[in-house]
Amino acid sequence: MSATYREYLDEETAAIASLDNRTRIAHLRKDLYVPHKEAVDILNQLKLLFDEPDVIRPQGRQLIANSLMGKTTLIDRFRKAHPASDDLDSDHAHVPVLDIEHPDNPKDRIYSTILSRLGVKPALRPAPSYLADYTIALMKKVGVRILIIDEFHSALHGGPATQRASLDTVKHIMNQLQRPIVLVGTSEVASATTHDPQISSRFKIIPLRRFNYTIDPDGFEDLLNGFEALLPLRQFSDLSAPELAKMIMSITAGVVGEIKDLLVRAATKAIENGTEKITSDILKLCSSSDQSQHPNDIISQL
């Protein structure tokens, strides 16, 4: 039976499609990643940065996208492609890709966050200059080739002084480490960095755009075909057909996270009701269910 499923499912999903409903629905709850063209291009750009030699004036990047577009998922995949490992010839680990989240609290420092990510607890209230020197020395010791700072837009919520401190810290780390840094966040990051010529000139923007079926139907259809290959349904839904594609675009506005959530709910419903494929009726049902759960509606009932 799974041989038939392989006509439209990938190998792993085809095997799962022949299992019981509970197992298939549980599979849908796992992370679903579709290597669409823009995602692949971004990962390739990060790999080029990773492979660059140490230089006095390294170039960084700003990975910019709205929420639910898959920024963090891409960073996670890049880190897993270059995993940390124990260095058998020394007493420390090898960490080629170091990813952190920018601290929300303006009193927190990026250096402390880096040390925490590396499993090191700094001395109580160390001098700022010592903390910076110690952190950068440790990053060199463990072989960090690229530092990725996710949620960087949180640095912009603390006022001009906090923004300035965060940007100055980023520049200092990059200059001393002589390795690229990638800032990940929303469009707020790009707006803020344009006011700093040194940052804007050294941090090229990599946009992760929403999909648009009207402008790029082929790209959107490829994404839907990629998702279809990961949904363990026993019938071909043909998600990229114009009727369904336009409906999915209308409901999700081309946001990858919204598309994934919609299709997971629709696939779950198709398994539960025995339809075994996603239809326009199921999409309408899932869409109307979403709208009925608008936060304002829930709050008004409290």
Give pLDDT tens digits for 193-219.
Answer: 877 787 888 999 999 999 999 999 999
Average pLDDT over residues 149-158: 84
What pTM did the predictor assign? 0.86
pLDDT of residue 5: 81
The dihedral through the CA atoms of 107, 111, 117, 123 has a sign that is negative
Nearest 10 degrees: CA dihedral of 140, 141, 142, 148? -20
| CA separation for the pair 149, 181 (Å, rounded) | 8
Residue 89 pLDDT class (50, 70, 90 cuts)? low
